[in-house]
Chains A and B, each alone.
Chain A
Amino acid sequence: MSVMGTRVVRIEDHKLITSGGSYVDDLREPELTGAVHAMFVRSPIAHARIGSIDVSAAREAPGVVGVFTADDLDIAFAPGPTGEPWLARDRVRYVGEPVALVLTEHPYQLADVAELVDIDYDPLDAVIDLDDALSGRTLLFDGTDSNVAGGKAKPFDEKLFDDCEVVVTRTITNQRVAPAPLEVRGAACAWGEDGRLTMWLSTQNAQIARDILAGGLGVDPGTVRVIAPDVGGGFGAKIGADPEAVVLGWASRRVGRPVRWFETRSENLTAMTHGRGQRHTVTIGGRRDGTVLAYRLEVVQDAGAYPRAGAGMLPGFTRLMAPGVYRIPRVEVATRSVLTNTTPIAAYRGAGRPEATAAIERAMDLFAAEIGMDPAEVRRINFIRPEEFPYTTPSGASYDTGEYAKALDAVLSAGGYAELRAEQARRREAGDVVVLGLGIAAYVEITAGDGMGESGRVDVNPDGTVTAYTGSSPHGQGLHTSLAMLLSDQFGVPMDKITIRHGDTDEVPKAVGTFASRSLQLGGSVLKQAGDQVIERAKEIAANLLEASPDDVELNVDQGAWQVRGAPSGGTVTWAQVAAAAGEDGLSADVWYGDVQPTFPFGAHLAVVEVDTLTGKAVLRRIIAVDDAGPVVNPVTFQGQRHGGLAQGVAQALLEEMSYDADGNPTTATLADYPFITATELPDFELVDMATPTTRNPLGVKGIGEAATIGSTPAVQNAVVDALAHLGVRHIEMPATPQRVWQAINDAREGR
């Protein structure tokens, strides 16, 4: 019987629940013996010229092995006018930017020494506000004439909304949030006697990290080995390698000793990239019968101080996915990215798609409110219909498959939408202080939208066990279990005879890794192809052993053995026998899967909130979700991904925001101040299953890593607004803090 689609407890768990993972700070590898400890001295000021740096006192302190600044670095500086230095030179552009590196014998000495590094800052005006940044009044980079790092303001088509009976427009902030994986960033590295650098790095992509390191250090990629040990969450913020990693590799070479680094949470919240950070101006128009005719989205992306992924990739995905699940005849999108004196922005679970969804889903509700129609009904009227797929949107996306109306109807029926609306009306009528809000979001997103390939290799060992090497780089997703299930199914080998390996660039030299919910669809598809090749080869060997024609032998997956078709009594050969007979090169296939086609998971969420109209506090009571990513390999981890996504999405709607004051000082720089969502702010999740396969990969699967985050944020935000609709509230910015909600109620009462 096939294990596919059955509940399989993760093979990853045992170690994690008994002796804990091997995260980078846990490593006790012999190569790291005698390692020195590293800490970065970071800018406490958002924007300043660096006057002088005096490291003399620090260099004298007990236990110091080295104190280095940009002047010490003899590696090339990032090119281009807005290039990001390894360590700040002359100028700092955000609080948290690394300025110096301290190395000590004992980790407890680091902070003592870092305090002694005396840096003289000459403050400049901090550019925090987006309009201020766009105005170019203060420029972040000399030699540029604008802070705009990508895109441009283009004139919109004046006639876009000409035939619309109703047009609504609104500016909405999709706030900056901190990815905050529970494990902060860390690395450990050592140069071997062979002149090679080995770096253990908490990363989602060892191979990309290797290339960044080699490029930064000016060495051949072959001289760098990156190993991703267990990684305590990434959520997009651990893609590749950050500048710190390059400096650590350099420092290890400079002092001739292994180096270890594990940042503090306060550093992490200011110096690891943030996510989201877009301002949207949405305009939506249509007819009073509910038909949407035109949609315009203007995006201003806060890129932070240096253009990383935030500058191009994020708004690019927002543009592509702007029309969401609707067939809107006319869609216009313009995006601009602008630099500010804040932490650089990059990917965070969803990376550009949650922003697109939040914009269109808020716009749909604004439109529905304006024409006085139920938001579910407006959505139904405008959904792309199942028979229209593949569907190319005006923004250029080619959606594979979808059942958008079915997904919405499924959550509404599971949630008891009609009863909930009745309860809402009852409370309103009774004048209850605590009112009920229902929020809907329907979404489609793009996964594996990167266009890069993935690698996979399958070896059948002479003892009949299977070892697979994947280019994916899981860090909590349970991919080892899913891949082992796939191979077990394909080979008929029990799961405990299958080992999955990943994350060592010496074992898997060419790979891309994990982001964009790509791992199962690409990492899984390529292993399937490698498996198919192995089976082809095995068939010939087995035929030889069975003295039959290859056409007549078959793999009996129930027994994991080869036999002559239709003649099971004629004897079998085991995988071990086949592998042993495979000769010198063994039984192995190594495949690069380059034909990457993105897929488009979709779903619908219904959120139920209660809002205390006197205090403004909104509490999420229920969230009912369909997240359709095609066939499910392991429901255990599939649901786990949805749960995690839901929580992070809810967090953005209700709680989390990375904030700065007007001078660019972060005001949420510790976990005491940053309102990371906890178990008490979340209800039990209500998941409704749907599985619509894609035609675009051999497994039929789409990505599930980010989907639920994308749907839940606007569902919850819409619910909070809906709760107060009867008071005249039309919009509340995220996060819907009690004060904001209270303010919105006051404003509505006063007709503002």
Chain B
Amino acid sequence: MIPVGFSYRRASTVDEAVGLLGEYGDEGKLLAGGHSLLPLMKLRLAAPEVLVDIAPLADLRYVRTDGDTVAIGALSRYHDLHHDEVLRQHAPLLAHVAGAIGDPQVRHRGTIGGSLAHADAAADLPAALLASDGVLVAQGPGGRREIPAGEFFLDPFTTALQPDELLVEIRVPGQDGVGWAFEKFTRRSIDWAIVGVAVLGQSVGLINMAGTPIRATRVEEALAGGANPAEAAELAAEGTSPPDEPHASAAYRQHLARVLTGRALERAAGRVPAGL
């Protein structure tokens, strides 16, 4: 219940945050919404010595369009994203997914940057970002760089971010007029996905089907080759390695991936483009 002791620092600018990360090295951890990090610390599964709170960086909470691109500040909270008119219009998949995470209290705290940086294969936004062909903007001592979502998630809970880098922005191509769907299979609505599928046009992201969020490449290829949704969905489990657990075996998850992908593709195809 009680985390191991640590010292708390607060950053008031991005540069200050980067500086503090450099200063503390491995001992320091960024704290955004705190809804992945603090639960881990309370169970003593993580014990950083220093927390660098970046939640006060209000200038990293925004959604705006930049030509055909939608730019989202990394510290934007799920609740705000779910209700953001710009996002609902131009990237409805992400706006919808943000509203499907956890519960209202979690959505009042959790941030898109925190979710992506945490890189849990069971999380919802990473797969949605993959399907959205998103780009992550990181800032470090050397300035900013862009990382395509497809190159960001390296291993379970491991990303392409450097220890002294901060995620500052997420960019996705505008989704106006593109069909989308999100299927999250859970036992209870509060639960994390047993399996989830995010579809945008003919792109398919899978939740909890490997150690990282992945794209259902075989499905996408089949669709590109002219297969119908039902045929393509049959390939959803190809190349996946989902967790094998008593309440949800790997085989069951692979079955679910096929069923849910089929449903998501059908729904995306039929969805009136734009809007929730």
Residues of A near any B CB (own CB < 8 A): 107-108, 110-112, 115, 264-266, 614-615, 617, 655, 659, 661, 667, 670, 672, 675, 677-678, 680-681, 737-739, 742-743
Contacts and interface: CB of A to CB of B under 8 A. Distances in A.
B188 A739 contact: no
A678 B188 contact: yes
Interface string B47-60: 00000000000000
Nearest to A111: B2
B2 A675 contact: no
Contacts of A107: 2
Given A112-B5, A615-B259, A742-B252, A737 B187 contact: yes
A675 to B, nearest CB: 6
Contacts of A112: 4-5
B185 A615 contact: yes
Nearest to B252: A739
Nearest to B263: A614
Looking at chain B, what size class is its interface with the partner chain? 20 to 34
A678 B44 CA distance: 27
Contacts of B185: 615, 617, 738
B190 A678 contact: yes
A739 B1 contact: no
Nearest to A670: B43
Contacts of A108: 2
A614 B259 contact: yes
B191 interface: yes
A236 B187 CA distance: 27
Nearest to A266: B43
7 closest cross-chain pairs (CB), A and B:
A680-B189, A614-B259, A739-B252, A264-B1, A108-B2, A111-B2, A678-B188
B248 A739 contact: yes
A661 B248 CA distance: 14
B121 interface: no
A111 B190 contact: no
A318 to B, nearest CB: 27
Interface of B: 1-2, 4-5, 39, 43-44, 185, 187-191, 194, 246-249, 252, 255-256, 259-260
A582 to B, nearest CB: 53
Nearest to B103: A678
Given A107-B2, A738-B187, 9 more contacts: A115-B44, A264-B1, A266-B43, A615-B185, A659-B246, A659-B247, A672-B39, A681-B189, A739-B249
A698 B7 CA distance: 65
A115 B246 CA distance: 30
B122 to A, nearest CB: 12
A743 B1 CA distance: 37
| Residue among B1, B248, B249, B256 with the highest chain A CB neighbour number at 10 A | B1
Contacts of B5: 112
A615 B256 contact: yes
16 contacts: A108-B2, A111-B1, A111-B44, A112-B5, A115-B44, A615-B256, A615-B260, A670-B43, A678-B189, A680-B188, A681-B189, A737-B187, A738-B185, A738-B252, A739-B252, A742-B255
Nearest to A109: B2
A737 B2 contact: no
Contacts of B246: 659, 661, 667
Nearest to B253: A739
B256 A681 contact: no
Contact of A110 (B2, B255, B259): B2
B123 to A, nearest CB: 14
A646 B5 CA distance: 43
A336 B1 CA distance: 39
Given A614-B259, A739-B249, A739-B252, A675 B1 contact: no
Contacts of A742: 252, 255
Contacts of B190: 678, 680
